[in-house]
Amino acid sequence: MSGNFSLLPADIWHERLFNGAWVPSPLSPLNVIEPATGSALGRIGMADASIVAASSQAARLAQAKWFGLPYDERALVLRKAAQIAESHFEEIVGWIVRESGSVQAKAAFEASLCIKALHESSGLPSRSQGELLPSTAGRLSIARRRPLGVIGVISPFNFPLYLAIRAVAPALALGNSVVLKPDPRTTVCGGFAIARIFELAGLPEGVLHVLPGGAEAGAALVSDPNVAMIQFTGSTGAGRKVGEAAGRHLKKVSLELGGKNSLIVLDDADLDIALRNATWGVYLHQGQICMSTGRLLVQRGIYERFVTRLVDKARSLTVGNPANGEVALGPLINAQQRDHAHRIVQEAVKAGAKLETGGSFEGLFFQPTVLTGVQQHNPAFHEEIFGPVAVVVPFDTDEEAVSLANDTDYGLSAGIISKDVGRALQLGEQLRTGLLHINDQTVNDEVVNPFGGVGASGNGTSIGGAANWEEFTQWQWLTLKADAPAYPL
């Protein structure tokens, strides 16, 4: 596969959507806005409820044939998809940078996660699909995993490619068809790239649909009778609505939602290392990550030195257009997100916090910010900011650190930095989170791990690695006898 041709030439997707073919939409197209410059990178075709319904029906028809293919043919499509993504790596990274405002390093990391997810998924079709159960003599009793049918995937803007493909790839590999509704702000890198990768990999027409649209299109997908399951990644507010609607329609639903994640720095930590972890966890992708470090809990003995150095560090971080070269922070996704972060910083100060640095913005470029003196009644302590804001809180004892970290409805990720691994583990065991990192910050994903949160961060599902079998298949009990028995009635 040569990387010489373009994966995403505008003439293929301009004012179109993907239902197995690239078709124009009758709705008004939407501009693809580059957050760093405000300029339009193209226009996408939008989907409404009737388009969602037609795609869901077509996906249902296509699914049986797709699952009926020999398992190694399905695996081959996934392997080819990985190769295509590899050979268009730079182009994909370029789109993530320009369309989502990612810095280069984050975009490259995201593209490599996407490739890894495709490779990992290509191994799923050839694995054992179930188990042989004990039964009465002469009866073969099998528990086997079957695809669910059509999976509706609804994805967010922040890791647009990976958070879509982490569901799309294993769902397809396990014999489902997929209707993907990416976030309308990141449809090219988070949707059309996936459509093109699979189109070029030879995925049969109709097995994957990519329908740009907003909440209404998402809601139509959730209520569609042809869709068996919804895999949703996004905010807790929208996730609740999706969960309620899925429950009403008796649909399996996987909800990967928001977080308010603590990084706990114990007083025996190497200060330099702790600062590097904090800086990464708080400021990577401008803080727009579900696993971003939303609270820095720092033990009193090193608190003052930690704050001084964090403020210096925050002031030294470069902010600018990531398409023009290496910067530490790019723009926030849009004015709404920027105003949300700004509002929380202002409310935090009103509620008694001290603004050590930052707090202001120019266009969508928000200065790296540090807040101290944030008490538990402060909105900055509880709300997910989704902006580059460090919320630093001191603590005295390990018990206090546990109680501060657990004082949230969310439960996605936590990190603890300490030279005493035993102490850190003992503390970590008491935290209510789906992801726990001893001697690492809160933002981590390796594709092969189960990923999910507790409390308001999800509904108890996980995605990734072995969890994908639970996520994208359903058990069937199959029995087989040579002859039907003569029952006594």
Given 218, 281, 331, 388, the residue binding ligand NAD (CB under 6 A): 218
d(CA 233, CA 295) in angstroms, rounded, equals 22
Catalytic residue among 34, 290, 383, 471: 290
Number of residues that bind ligand NAD (CB under 6 A): 30
CB of 75 to ligand NAD, least distance (A): 26
CB 117 within 8 A of CB 169: yes
Given 101, 170, 258, 455, the residue binding ligand NAD (CB under 6 A): 258
Q: Quick one: which segment of 16-24, 69-77, 152-160, 279-287 binds ligand NAD (CB under 6 A)?
A: 152-160
Q: How many CB atoms lie within 10 A of CB 448?
A: 14
Chain positions 351 to 410 lying near ligand NAD, rule: CB under 6 A, are: 384, 386
Residue whose CB is less far from ligand NAD, 381 or 395: 381
Tell whether residue 99 is a contact of ligand NAD (CB under 6 A).
no
Q: Pick the closest to residue 331 from 339, 322, 340 (CA basis).
A: 322
Residue whose CB is less far from ligand NAD, 33 or 142: 33
Residue 189 appears among annotated catalytic residues: no
Tell whether residue 214 is a contact of ligand NAD (CB under 6 A).
yes
Tell whether residue 164 is a contact of ligand NAD (CB under 6 A).
no
Q: Quick one: which segment of 5-13, 157-165, 299-307, 393-401 binds ligand NAD (CB under 6 A)?
A: 157-165
Residue whose CB is less far from ligand NAD, 257 or 370: 257
- Give Cβ neighbours of residue 350 (< 8 Å, ≥ 6 apart): none
Given 212, 234, 322, 358, the residue binding ligand NAD (CB under 6 A): 234
- The torsion of the CA quartet 332, 183, 201, 55, rounded to 10 degrees, works out to -170
CB of 147 to ligand NAD, least distance (A): 23
CB of 52 to ligand NAD, least distance (A): 11
Tell whether residue 302 is a contact of ligand NAD (CB under 6 A).
no
Tell whether residue 85 is a contact of ligand NAD (CB under 6 A).
no
Tell whether residue 331 is a contact of ligand NAD (CB under 6 A).
no
Q: Which residue is nearest to ligand NAD (CB)?
A: 218
Tell whether residue 436 is a contact of ligand NAD (CB under 6 A).
no
C-alpha dist (Å) from residue 20 to 169, 170, 176, 195, 456: 16, 19, 15, 8, 36
C-alpha dist (Å) from residue 25 to 142, 175, 178, 212, 274: 46, 28, 19, 10, 50
Burial of 324 (0-12, 13-18, 19+ CB in 10 A): exposed
C-alpha dist (Å) from residue 224 to 113, 129, 220, 433: 30, 28, 6, 32
Tell whether residue 238 is a contact of ligand NAD (CB under 6 A).
yes
Q: Which residues pair with 477 in a beta bridge?
A: 143
Tell me the Cα Rg of the chain: 24
- Give Cβ neighbours of residue 159 (< 8 Å, ≥ 6 apart): 110, 285, 289
Given 242, 348, 370, 392, the residue binding ligand NAD (CB under 6 A): 242
Residue 256 appears among annotated catalytic residues: yes
Tell whether residue 194 is a contact of ligand NAD (CB under 6 A).
no
Q: Quick one: which segment of 20-28, 232-240, 390-398, 467-475 binds ligand NAD (CB under 6 A)?
A: 232-240
Tell whether residue 259 is a contact of ligand NAD (CB under 6 A).
yes
Residue whose CB is less far from ligand NAD, 395 or 472: 472
Catalytic residue among 34, 91, 256, 384: 256
d(CA 192, CA 186) in angstroms, rounded, equals 9
Q: How many CA atoms lie within 13 A of 354 on its CB side?
A: 7
Residue whose CB is less far from ligand NAD, 222 or 345: 222
Residue whose CB is less far from ligand NAD, 125 or 191: 191
Given 141, 235, 449, 474, the residue binding ligand NAD (CB under 6 A): 235
Tell whether residue 219 is a contact of ligand NAD (CB under 6 A).
yes
Tell whether residue 156 is a contact of ligand NAD (CB under 6 A).
yes
Tell whether residue 163 is a contact of ligand NAD (CB under 6 A).
yes
Tell whether residue 290 is a contact of ligand NAD (CB under 6 A).
yes
The catalytic residues are 256, 290
Residues of this chain that bind ligand NAD (CB under 6 A): 154-159, 163, 181, 183, 214-215, 218-219, 222, 233-235, 238, 241-242, 256-259, 290, 384, 386, 412, 453, 457
